[in-house]
Amino acid sequence: MENSKRLLIIGFVWPEPKSSAAGSRMMQLIDLFQMQGYEVTFACTAQNFEFSEDLNRNQITAKTIELNSSTFDELVKELDPSVVVFDRFMMEEQFGWRVSENCPNALKILDTIDLHLLRNARQLAVKEQREFVSDDLFSDVAKREVASILRCDLALMVSEYEMEVLQKQFNISESLLHYLPLFAERIPAIPTFEERNGFVFIGNFLHEPNWDAVRFFHKEIWPAIHSKLPLAKMLIYGAYPTQKVLELNQPKMNFYIKGRAEDAFDVIQKAKVLLAPLRFGAGIKGKLLDAMQCGTPTITTTIGAESMKGELEWNGFIADNAVEFAENAIELYTNALLWEINQKNGFEILEKRYQRNDFETVFFERVNFLLQNLKMHRNHNFIGSILQYHTISSTMYMSKWIEEKNKKH
């Protein structure tokens, strides 16, 4: 196949679309490229978990790769892709210089998923029990992530707010950023208000914001809801729950830790309301998008709803303190008319902000323009070229030293 239609994705983990929004995002991205006629190879250093997507079934070539190994150089040279996508900045740090050395004309795209520098800064503020301030952004993680964005030709963003942070706080040129959210459609034949019961939360517990949200909810919010709605159940779903999570299971309080959901849509559409009291995080919250698709109104925080609704009305309530959150949950759970209004708000958000057709053409116009004007684009991003030069000089020798050391063992 001609080189112009080869894509290499270097994954942080194997995609698990049923476990995380990041997994869904990756499969959507792959499908976009396949629909443009690209032959896709997905390479990853991680273990292939039993719940990961069967890539072969989707006509995707799967390759296991090693860190600090020249075997990757041979793979990428043989593949000779015209486009390389790095799944989060850590993968670009490890393999970006090898791609540049072996395939200098490949278009390098970083899929940020969410800005780690923003999520980590907010997490630090919560941990220290204080308000988040912009100075928190300027961390070592920020230096690494921003450097990675500059070394790439394009960074894909799922949040308009995060694009604003990069441009205003870090002076990143708009020419290096592209807004490409998750895509979502409402699902047909969903249960009515009367056919639903209980509250639900869902989220992968490998993701720290989810564990913090459940712990905060269990301690600060659920007791107030339970005192007013003693028969209502709270069902907590999420892949990879730790022992700490499982210990929160309290049947006497109608608070249940259920573990992995076989079908996220099934459990979300059976619930009356999805609750997501996220105190830190970044990116687009897949659980909230899933809830809109299922016609399930939600209550979340300002951070939870960030960059999701634009100028539209939220599909429920946005509350940042525990008392207000609990009051909103009780009201939405018991008021059928209010519930139906907010369900429609969710459908409108989906229709106006998350339709694939609104983004696909523009994205590939950008990709094709960059492929045809790569030299000019890189000349305009000279700081990125400087970072690339120094990274190759330093990271390359460190990696080669580690590889030699490993051979001796």
> Residue 137: CB partners within 8 Å, gap ≥ 6?
117, 118, 121, 165, 169
Q: Is 398's pLDDT higher than 90?
A: no
Query: Cα(61)–Cα(34) distance, rounded to whole angstroms?
Result: 12
Kindly list the structural domains of the chain, giving each domain's residue range(s) and its CATH number in brackets, ordered by start: 3-183+357-408 (3.40.50.2000), 199-354 (3.40.50.2000)
Give 58's pLDDT tier (boundaries 50, 70, 90).
confident
DSSP character at residue 285: -
- The pLDDT assigned to 396 comes to 67
Q: Is 129 left (phi over 0), alpha (psi -120 to 50) or beta?
A: left
Query: Cα(248)–Cα(223) distance, rounded to whole angstroms?
Result: 13
Token pair 């229709």 in the structure block, residue: 351
Q: Is 402's pLDDT higher than 80?
A: no
What is the chain's mean pLDDT, rounded? 93
Tokens of 27: 């499969």
Give 393's pLDDT tier (boundaries 50, 70, 90).
low
What does the pLDDT look like over 88-121, one tens digit per residue? 999 999 999 999 999 999 999 999 999 999 999 9
What does the pLDDT look like over 206-228, one tens digit per residue? 899 999 999 999 999 999 999 99
Token pair 């209980």 in the structure block, residue: 198
- Interval 243-267 mean pLDDT: 95
- The pLDDT assigned to 408 comes to 66
Q: Check if the beta carbon of residue 282 is closer than 8 Å to that of residue 162.
A: yes
Size of the chain in residues: 409
202 by DSSP, 3-state: which? strand
